[in-house]
């Protein structure tokens, strides 16, 4: 449980950790090669721990210390992914493409993860089938075979991050070129393409596609994971919601462009440097309209904390979730704190209130947990956030970092991680 005594404006600077959503596919990319892969700027998170457990279970040896992973291969890989690990985290499904491309076969259970919608894997399977994979789904498992994947042109009906990453991973060892039309362009996807290029695949981006030229064998590489734009955005919103002054360092401001525009629209003073962003908020924010979109649009992972911020804005705000159909687990808990939010299909109509009141709330997923922590920072009285296991899947030392910014926040000892 995270306990917050609200009402304290945050002030100071904090450094962003490495991006969870870039570290996970990078770890799974190590399955493509028998050579050592070194990853640096890796965040200490439970989802990263799950990814490390998974590649170890498949046959890799992993040394993890102080933000650095060294992944080696002491023996043969297994084509069968453990069910318990894949069902724990949706990103684990990304082992399917590397195992299939490397071993010619794979058995991977359908994934689990946060309860924010169905998030089907149809595009993953459709793309792998286009590359020549024989796929069969039985009793919650995907059985895949392909003596040799063949590069093809694949069109994605939706620019899915997971499907784009799956096809990039598989295409790195496929014969010929794999062209993905309408790909996801999130920074984490581009970061994966940088790693694949370092391993020996040739990846090039164009206006409407990304093309990967496969190779018969990949080498090892050293790769630095990009900063976490979602964590950075969460800290900026924490500064804004508490009417404070917060600077986030070690980031790529361009990755946060959509959020920064909306913060400025709401009346936040935003400043940017080469690798930092700061916010200053000295008055009540103004209501704005927000719609989540694939990058470079407003990120769905920042929708829940943005809703917390807008719950205290003057006037009305309309927030539309167009990426996941059920990413509103934070709304009921914010209502218990005094927010005025009404759901209208895929949108939230938010009427700003004069203040929130602390109470006991429960995080239903990673980003909903962050939203409730932010609400607690601004609320009157004490807020107790349960479900912190979700939060620490995606945020490294969240309470400690907020404490460094002046928040009155602490954790019950038995739930402290890491």
- Tell me the catalytic residues: 114
Instruction: Compute φ and ψ for 294, nearest 5 degrees.
Output: -60, 155
The encoded tokens of residue 357 equal 């009141």
Strand order in the sheet with 221-224: 61-65, 68-72, 37-40, 221-224
Query: Residue 295 to residues 112, 229, 327: CA-CA distances in angstroms?
Result: 24, 12, 17
At CA 354, angle to CA 348 and CA 360, rounded to 5? Answer: 70
The encoded tokens of residue 135 equal 């796929």
- The residues pairing with 210 across neighbouring beta strands, listed in sequence order, are 180, 205
How far is CA 54 from its chain centroid?
18
Q: By C-alpha distance, which of 47, 101, 61 is closest to 79?
A: 101
The encoded tokens of residue 68 equal 């650095």
Instruction: Compute φ and ψ for 217, nearest 5 degrees.
Output: -155, 145
């Amino acid at each position: 449980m995270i306990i917050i005594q609200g009402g304290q404006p945050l002030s100071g600077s904090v450094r962003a950790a490495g991006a969870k959503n870039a570290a996970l596919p990078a770890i799974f990319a190590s399955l493509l090669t028998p050579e050592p892969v070194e990853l640096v700027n890796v965040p200490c998170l439970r989802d990263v721990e799950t990814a490390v457990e998974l590649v170890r279970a498949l046959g890799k040896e992993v040394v993890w210390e102080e933000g650095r992973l060294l992944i080696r291969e002491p023996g043969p890989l297994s084509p069968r992914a453990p069910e318990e690990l894949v069902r724990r985290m949706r990103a684990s499904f990304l082992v399917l493409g590397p195992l299939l491309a490397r071993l010619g076969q794979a058995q991977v259970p359908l994934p689990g993860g946060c309860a924010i919608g169905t998030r089907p894997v149809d595009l993953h399977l459709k793309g792998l089938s286009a590359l020549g994979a024989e796929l069969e789904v039985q009793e919650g498992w995907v059985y895949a075979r392909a003596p040799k994947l063949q590069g093809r042109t694949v069109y994605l009906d939706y620019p899915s991050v997971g499907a784009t990453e799956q096809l990039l991973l598989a295409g790195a060892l496929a014969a010929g070129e794999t062209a993905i039309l309408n790909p996801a362009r999130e920074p984490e996807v581009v970061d994966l393409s940088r790693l694949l290029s370092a391993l020996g695949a040739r990846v090039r981006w164009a206006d409407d596609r990304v093309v990967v030229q496969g190779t018969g064998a990949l080498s090892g590489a050293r790769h630095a994971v990009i900063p976490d734009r979602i964590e950075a955005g969460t800290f900026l919103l924490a500064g804004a919601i508490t009417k404070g002054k917060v600077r986030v360092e070690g980031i790529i401001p361009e990755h946060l462009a959509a959020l920064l525009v909306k913060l400025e629209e709401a009346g936040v003073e935003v400043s940017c440097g080469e690798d930092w962003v700061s916010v200053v908020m000295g008055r009540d924010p103004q209501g704005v309209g927000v719609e989540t979109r694939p990058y470079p649009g407003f990120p769905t992972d920042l929708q829940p904390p943005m809703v917390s911020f807008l719950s205290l804005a003057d006037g009305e705000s309309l927030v539309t979730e167009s990426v996941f159909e059920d990413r509103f687990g934070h709304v009921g808990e914010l209502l218990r704190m005094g927010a005025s939010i009404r759901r209208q299909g895929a949108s939230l109509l938010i009427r700003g209130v004069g203040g929130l009141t602390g109470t006991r709330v429960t995080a239903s997923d990673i980003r909903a947990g962050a939203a409730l922590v932010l609400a607690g920072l601004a609320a009157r009285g004490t807020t107790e956030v349960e479900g912190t296991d979700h939060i620490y899947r995606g945020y490294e030392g969240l309470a400690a970092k907020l404490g460094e910014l002046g928040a009155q926040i602490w954790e019950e000892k038995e739930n402290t991680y890491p």
